Amino acid sequence: MQSSIRDNYLETEVMTATPQKLQYMLIDAAIRNLGRGKLLRSEGRHDQACEALIRAQQIVTHILSGLNREVDADLTRKVASIYMFVFRSLNEAQIRGDDSKLDECIRVLEVERETWRLLCEKLDQEQPAENDAAGATLTGLLPQIGDTSAAAKGPHAPRMPTFDLSSELLDGETSTGFSIEA
């Protein structure tokens, strides 16, 4: 029952999140999986550690595949190089069993996460929620298809790929999960 409640909450949070918030959530999930993988590796639970690190790789791959090269090619190339560095470092960490490489990945992703957290805060302050009879709604926070506002023009904000954002990816625990398309 507890897992079902958590899954419902996660599904609602993802389905109502802005693309910027989804980006933040993905980066946060990658960091959690890296930390979990490092901890499991130190405990000698190598199979489980490998699974957590593979989840982190999958998340980084999803982020890379969601980059929108049509908006600003130069910025997109720079952002892609950051995530490619993380991806390569993560591969090296797995092959060599090198926790210092995992630490590098975590440090880089923590900077990215903080950047996206600040962006989400700024956008929340700039976009007041609409009120209806039931109270505040989230519809005012969701970007519209074809939105050309500055908030929707990030190199990877408007074009998120289809992917499975189940709690298995986010938390390392298996659930029924779901897929989203944006």
Residue pLDDT, tens place only, 20-54: 888 999 999 999 999 999 999 999 999 999 999 99
Q: CA 137 from chain center: how many Å? A: 24
Question: Counting beta carbons within 10 angstroms of the beta carbon of residue 48, is it exposed (0 to 12), middle (13 to 18) or buried (19 or more)?
Answer: middle
Specify the DSSP element, H or E, that contains 11: helix 2-15
Judge whether 137 and 130 are in contact, CB under 8 Å.
yes
Q: What is the mean pLDDT of the chain?
A: 74
pTM of the model: 0.66
**What average pLDDT does this structure show over 52-59?**
95
Q: Which residues fall within 8 angstroms of residue 163, CB to CB, at 6 or more apart?
A: 62, 179, 180
**Coil, strand or helix at 45:** coil
